[in-house]
Homo-oligomer: A and B are copies of this chain.
């Protein structure tokens, strides 16, 4: 855990939700920290790898990040307001793995989202 990662974690705590790498960089600069955009990306990458930060994609493809202590998981996305809830996905992981093994696929990844209308919409 190096300096950049600590800075990024602290700004993510302050934000309390999703933010893009560029936004986080701006916020850090504005609050007086000295850090390069490169280091923000590197820190985020490493935090994502360590499963300290959760990364997903906006519709336009830009990555957004938030703190998340949990293991790999998926989202329940509201079709109406766009709010997301983390959901538990171990059943899904098992399924994806089993399917891939059954057909002898290598380097397997998966993609899953559940859509619906949230209670408040």
Chain A residues in the interface with B (C-beta under 8 A): 55-59, 61-63, 76, 78-79, 85, 87-89, 91-92, 94-96, 99-100, 102-119
Contacts and interface: CB of A to CB of B under 8 A. Distances in A.
Contacts of A115: 108-111
B100 A114 contact: yes
Contact of A111 (B55, B58, B103, B104): B58
A85 B109 CA distance: 15
B109 A116 contact: yes
Nearest to A120: B104
Nearest to A107: B117
Contact of A112 (B61, B79, B85, B111): B111
A94 B90 CA distance: 13
Given A105-B118, A116-B107, A117-B107, A91 B100 contact: no
A114 to B, nearest CB: 5
Contacts of A76: 99-100, 103, 105
A20 to B, nearest CB: 12
Contacts of A119: 103-105
